[in-house]
Amino acid sequence: MPKIILDLNDPTDLQTVNGTWKVGTGFVPGEPNEGLKSKLLSSPPRLIDYYDSNWPICIDLRQNLSERCTFAWHRIKIRIPNQIKGINIKRLSSISRNQFRHLR
């Protein structure tokens, strides 16, 4: 089975999967004090259904977002096409949305 590797930092590969990176700064982006609260057990942005439509688009994943310690979430939504780099991938296996949910 052929192996296809895409670098989602590379604009060409990113365009192949119609991907756009978004970034939300803070442990809970948009919350006061960047969502830092005493005894907070988890952060909602880790969930697939978290609303991130108002997050800015991130052009450079390596961009420094702060001068000191910072929490940030990077998210991407991709669409896998039927063909990548000249290979028909319609029948190849991939991680489906259902399988991804179990990885959380």
Q: Are strands 72-77 and 83-84 parallel, antiparallel or unpaired?
A: unpaired
Distance between CA atoms of residues 32 and 51, nearest Å: 17
CB 21 within 8 A of CB 57: yes
pLDDT in tens, 60-93: 888 888 778 888 999 998 888 888 888 888 766 5
Residue 55, Cβ neighbours under 10 Å: how many?
A: 19
pLDDT of amino acid 34: 84
Say which residue the tokens 């949910």 belong to. 101
Position 1 scores a pLDDT of 63
Residue type, position 77, single letter? K
The lowest-confidence range among 22-26, 55-59, 77-81, 91-95 is 91-95
Q: Is the pLDDT assigned to residue 22 strictly greater than 90? A: yes
- pLDDT recorded at residue 14: 92
Closest CA to 29 of 46, 5, 4, 17: 46
